[in-house]
Structure 1
């Protein structure tokens, strides 16, 4: 059937809506963004000044490095939570319990990221649930403001990203034959050697897919970072927002956007090379 569609040209007709969607909403805006980044704000002439502003400013570079560091750390924390959870769901729980746990994981994502961030604000604010609980238990006498700290931002980012790490790992572990794990134990292997030699290598494609998605989502996050971090969040996307919306400097904002996009692509490429994973295999 596929060959017939190719011969008649109907395949391209079926793909046309998707190609138009990608072209109009992804390719063309990125081309425009790239061109804007090399134009002067006032004259429109070719310039490298927008990029020079980033590389010569300790403030912008510092915020960028901070964003990358916490994006990597958030990805690692998310992986540390998601992998054991996915393993228990696929290899320990019954089918009924597995379905209930998966539903419980997915259910919070039926609401928007904005609502999730507001929920964390209710928990972490000075008069919030966490502060009230600590006072009720006698741990502290005064209200404590937990908002606007780096760790608070990380908690919110891990929560909003967890699903995108769990599901790919679940899919990878589902294809792992339990007899391989049993054979490892029969041959004298313990839990850690089995995990190192069999389970982790088999689930590596899922780990890579989840890590890539989480890293990209966290690196480009704006809502959660702004609400939970406030003015102390120091996230690079806030600099991009300020250039576009506050200062009306689209050219500088475009340059920052291109820098962030280029870095994320190069980082993912390097990650795949280091781990010797093929992108087509991982996806």
Structure 2
């Protein structure tokens, strides 16, 4: 009876999660894959085949946009790691126990508003008549207002600001488990700060680093509002191509194809990153 009750409790607990995964993730992905294999041969006439994928390969602008999105996403991930690691180290190892909650709260504040509001906040700061340009002119650093929007630098800054929390949280969780005796042993054995960082801290924090990089990379590659609003017409982001195919051109077959390719390509990049670092999903994002 106890075994049956335990199984029933497990089923009831897992049922909402299984329904969530199945109905909102698996089935939509299967539907997108199905639509991507439909080739339009006439009005409301379709055939199944890889023609949409062949059209993508034959069009350089689509390929270049996908590769550019992947490269920019890797750059944003690297910058988020560079900025987020010192913050995570301070929260996990330097800050007092009572102040850690306040520091986490400060990191969470940007998530209290939507991506749209955050993007418009950057527009208010960086536009030609914005806060930054006005302050620089008032301080005599520049002679006239400068437009700081609609370029790759602004897009990268906005994306780093958007995803950095998802880099900090897994790093803090990992670094909090590090015994300070490991650091003391490294220094006692004659290691300098750089050696201790390279030989002790980084290997120990690698699961958190990889988990943070995976999350931030996938979020960045799938971002839409921030690149469009901060990059303007100069933005070349693959999610914009997907939006244009679905909404502007009403070409659902091409849009579905682009969606499948984005998922497949980003998954390939994540797999390559796991192979290079010697990690696995079970030791990073699925770590107990």
1:109 deviates by 1.3
1:4 deviates by 4.6
1:98 deviates by 2.7
Q: Give the number of equivalent residue pairs.
A: 282
The CA distance in 2 between the partners of 1:6 and 1:56, in whole Å, is: 55
Partner of 2:83: 81
1:190 deviates by 0.8
Instruction: Give SS of 1:44's match.
Output: strand
The CA distance in 2 between the partners of 1:12 and 1:95, in whole Å, is: 38
Deviates more, 1:157-166 or 1:273-282: 273-282
Q: Which runs of 4+ in 1 moved over 6 A?
A: none
The CA distance in 1 between the partners of 2:6 and 2:91, in whole Å, is: 42
Change (3 A) 1:233 1:10: same
The CA distance in 1 between the partners of 2:67 and 2:219, in whole Å, is: 16
Q: Does 1:151 align with 2:191?
A: no
Partner of 2:101: 99
The CA distance in 1 between the partners of 2:82 and 2:121, in whole Å, is: 23
Deviates more, 1:87-96 or 1:159-168: 87-96
Q: Deviations over 1:84-120 (max 9, x none)?
A: 1111222222223333222111122111111111100
Unaligned runs of 5+ in 1: none
The CA distance in 1 between the partners of 2:233 and 2:135, in whole Å, is: 27
Change (3 A) 1:280 1:5: farther
The CA distance in 2 between the partners of 1:59 and 1:186, in whole Å, is: 56
Q: Deviations over 1:167-226 (max 9, x none)?
A: 000000000001111111111111111111111111111101100000000001001111
1:232 deviates by 0.7
1:3 deviates by 4.7
The CA distance in 2 between the partners of 1:3 and 1:273, in whole Å, is: 40
Partner of 2:242: 240
The CA distance in 2 between the partners of 1:3 and 1:122, in whole Å, is: 60
Instruction: Give SS of 1:234's match.
Output: coil
The CA distance in 2 between the partners of 1:2 and 1:212, in whole Å, is: 40
Partner of 2:36: 37
Whether the 8 Å contact between 2:70 and 2:266 is mirrored in structure 1 is: no
Q: Deviations over 1:18-48 (max 9, x none)?
A: 2112111111111010011010134221132
The CA distance in 1 between the partners of 2:3 and 2:178, in whole Å, is: 33
Partner of 1:200: 202
The CA distance in 1 between the partners of 2:13 and 2:139, in whole Å, is: 62
Change (3 A) 1:94 1:13: closer
Change (3 A) 1:61 1:132: same
Whether the 8 Å contact between 2:119 and 2:230 is mirrored in structure 1 is: yes
Partner of 1:14: 13
Structure 1-normalised TM-score?
0.96
